[in-house]
Structure 1
Amino acid sequence: MRLLITETNKISHRCSLCLEFVWTQLGYLCNGLYSWYATLALSAILHYTGLFLLTDIIDNFGPIMSVAIIFGVVTTLLTYIITVATGAQHRMSGYLMYDIFMGAPLNPRIGRLDLKIWAEIRVPWVILFYVSLSAALKQYEVHGYVSAPTAFMVMAHFLYVNACMKGEECIPTTWDIFYEKWGFMLIFWNFAGVPFTYCHATLYLAKWDQIHGSPLTFSLPYIIFVYTLCLVGYYVWDTANSQKNRFRMQLAGTYIPRNTFPQLPWGTIKEPTYVRTEHGNLLLTSGWWGIARKIHYTGDLAMAISWGLIAGFESLIPYFYFVFFLVVLTHRVTRDMERCAKKYGKDWETYCERVPWIFVPGVY
């Protein structure tokens, strides 16, 4: 088993004597993909031997969600208390509820295990996938087959969690990891929010099956359209993120090609173009990033809307993820545009002239 260690995150510590900042570079053990496939293999063995039936997940969804909620709250409080008691807190505001919500530690670890990355990658998306897989297995158990909409949810959630695992070495450079602290906002959302709210389309399909006695179905052209929308969105999202992160790693000299599944065409820009700012930052203007400034969000939103479309139009419940995600991304993009304009000034104006569109070329 090949283990990849990246060292990309830095934490500042203020020296009480000299009032200088000392930078410590953290190492990350990125073996998510191996752990993911080991989990899939182990769960298959447990299910088919009867030691743990995966259908129990959907049958006990409520109790499992309740445990996740309690676990998220308890973990938040314990993390805050331990961090403050050991004097390891960062950027505290002095307002108790706010500091509990935002968190006290920056990069809490147990040995080599980074708790933020573990909670963000190894927990929520894996649970989300198993909720959909459990629903599909339950449908097969009852009807002897899996419907196209339910199979779609398994495919969509598998692709998402697999992408997170295969690109785990890119996670340390994200805002959540290098800047946000580990508090209720991240802890609760990763343990209880993501896995038990992003699965509304799966739950809707399962409930439809229970109420009507048969799976929800659509015409073949409609099914093909939704599958295609999801796969195209996934391709844009996956390759755009790959281009950006490999560009960063190539500049830092940390890029190591990995034969992880799936390696999609156009995942690496061979001769990237960019705008160099006065700060020394490079703003990428080639590949997907020469088409739109937030093209990866476009792909992500295409996947999100497909998760709702596969459940039809009789309820808004399956569209919760898309609506929530759209609001979050709109706010995030507005904030990012303002921050970059203030930081880069005329360089940002030059960049916007080179890449005028934000989400969809010719539209917005």
Structure 2
Amino acid sequence: MSKEEKEFGGTPGAIGLMIFSHFVPFYFALSLRYSSGGLYCPSSFDGFIENFKETCSPTWSAFFLYTGFCFLQLIFAATLPGLVIKGLPVPTENNRQYTYNCNALSSWYVTLVLVAILHATGLVPLTILADQFGSVLCVAVICSDILSIIIHFYALQTKQTCRMTHSPIYDFFMGVWLNPRIRILGQDVDLKMLAEVRLSWLLLFLLIVSAAVKQYEAFHTITWPMMLILTAQLLYINACMKGEECIPTTWDIFYEKWGWMLIYWNLAGVPFVYAFQAYYILVNSLRTQKPTEGVSMTLIIVCFTVLFFAYYIWDSSQAQKNRFRMKQRGTYVPRKAFPQVPWNTLENPKYLKTECGSTLLIDGWWKYCRKPHYTADICMATCWALSCHQWPGLLPYFYPAFFTGMIIHRYTRDIARCKAKYGKDWTIYCKHVPYAFIPGLI
């Protein structure tokens, strides 16, 4: 892909996406507060401003909650034990290979223990996130915007830039710095991977746990829809943590620059938008005072079944591909992290050799379609939305719709890159694996 090629519609698209990305989480927060998760339509602009101030004004407690969480994860990233993994050679930096201290699993367990202690002692009850959802959201948005500006201009000032288009707004949106790192307590911490793996998904999990605890305190029960969301997120986030050593070779780390798009969505967008279903269930159960009425146990059972099967494909397919790559580079280290699902490592897998020196896996799940993990991800996202069936509405389905669009766009970007990289070998690969998402269909 040429360094001057623009995506997302160039500068106008970048501006539109930044405006839209700021609008969505705040609209959801106001919807939850004033419309029980339904469509929020204020009677006047003054009414909107008043609602916004009441719900989303930043507070010092929200500031210390959010920044304290981020700082703690930064300290954990620098100090806790983990696997040291080498990333891929970076072409724009003379094929330099960065090292990554993959200790997210340690951070995950330590964070869970610390949060449990803080809650049990009453020092920081888990429900504080649910009580201050809008305020913490506002702090996260402000912090992500400020950090984006700092990172952008620091990279320009220190000349740590690559693949720039020299369109200022577009470059700010996509980023100009590929490998942002800081040294803390004698260790290099990769900020992009920290945000990608921990700040986004760990905060999301804590927000959902906060909603579940809030529901339990109100009704002395956690309903099946809330349990479905909690289980789904626990599986997903635990998988991200236990498989962190596979992430340095992924598209986001190897290719995507750390600009506003990744910074904002990892620090603010993902945790607060993706938590919507849990808070939709919470606010409606509090509104009606009937948390279990209208729950379809048949649908819940179907959702749990689809969730577990989709999770298995998602986890095992990514493990197959990443471990295949790591074995070829001689960097594979067997992990004992829980759970290790069956068929996650391929023995003597089939693959295609390409003229550029890379290999393309055509075995395991990857002989059936080119993106099995994308299909599984969409299925899991749909289960999140269906957990809200108790109180029908449109907004719970925003996430699977948004996620599907994002995945398809990401797929088209990946295909363009692969065609440019592999040439005729990509055509041969597509004959071996003709389907993109669902074998026999598409």
**TM-score, length of structure 1 as denominator length:** 0.94
Root-mean-square deviation (CA, aligned residues, Å) is: 1.5
Alignment of 1:203 with 2:282, yes or no, is no
Three-state SS of the structure 2 residue aligned to 1:265 is coil
Q: What is the rounded CA distance, in whole Å, between the counterparts of 1:22 and 1:4 in structure 2?
A: 25
* Aligned with 1:3 (options 78, 82, 87): 82
1:268 and 2:345 aligned? yes
Correspondent of 2:174 among 82, 98, 102: 102
What does residue 88 of structure 1 align with? 160
Normalised by the length of structure 2, the TM-score is 0.78
CA distance 1:232–1:294, change in 2 (3 Å): same
Residues 138-217 of structure 1 aligned to structure 2 (within 5 Å): 138-216=214-292, 217=294
Q: Please tell me the residue identity of whatever aligns with 2:83.
A: L
Match of 1:135 among 186, 211, 233: 211
Counterpart pick for 2:372 among 295, 308, 321: 295
Q: Name the residue aligned to 1:361.
A: 439
One-letter identity of the residue aligned with 1:335:
R
Aligned-partner residue type, residue 230 of structure 1: L
* Total equivalences in the alignment: 357
1:44 counterpart (116, 140, 149)? 116
Could you tell me how far apart the structure 2 residues matched to 1:196 and 1:290 are?
Answer: 36
Q: Distance in 1 between matches of 2:372 and 2:233?
A: 21
Q: How does 1:324-343 map to 2 (within 5 A)?
A: 324-343=402-421
Q: What secondary structure, in the 3-state scheme, does the structure 2 residue paired with 1:9 have?
A: coil
Of the structure 1 ranges 185-194 and 212-221, higher mean CA displacement relative to structure 2 is found in 212-221
The corresponding residue for 2:304 is 227
AA aligned to 2:117 is: I
- Residue 12 of structure 1 deviates from its aligned partner by 4.5
Q: Are 2:87 and 1:33 equivalent residues in the alignment? A: no
Distance in 1 between the 2:89 and 2:351 partners? 25
List runs of 5+ in structure 2 lacking aligned partners: 1-79
Identity %: 47
The partner residue of 2:429 within 333, 348, 351 is: 351
Asked if 1 retains the 8 angstrom alpha-carbon contact of 2:82 and 2:104, the reply is no
Measured against aligned partners, the alpha-carbon deviations of 1:291-325 in whole angstroms (never above 9, x if no partner) come to 11111111111101100011117112111111011
Does structure 2 retain, via aligned residues, the 8 Å contact 1:200–1:320? Answer: no
- The gaps in structure 1 that reach 5 residues or longer are 14-20
Distance 1:320 1:254 in 2: 39
User: 2:176·2:257 contact (CA, 8 Å) conserved in 1?
Assistant: yes
Question: Corresponding residue for 2:326?
Answer: 249
Q: Which amino acid letter does the alignment assign opposite residue 104 of structure 1?
A: V
Structure 1 Cα separation of the partners of residues 275 and 441 of structure 2 = 30
Q: How far apart, in 2, do the equivalents of 1:338 and 1:82 lie? A: 31
Aligned match of 2:150? 78
Q: Residue in 2 aligned with 1:284?
A: 361
Contact residue 198 and residue 320 of structure 1 kept, 8 A: no
SS in 2 for 1:91: coil
Residue aligning to 1:16: none
1:50 deviation in Å? 0.2
Contact 1:12–1:22 (CA under 8 A) maintained in structure 2? yes
> What letter matches 1:265 in structure 2?
P
Q: CA separation in 1, counterparts of 2:316 and 2:278?
A: 26
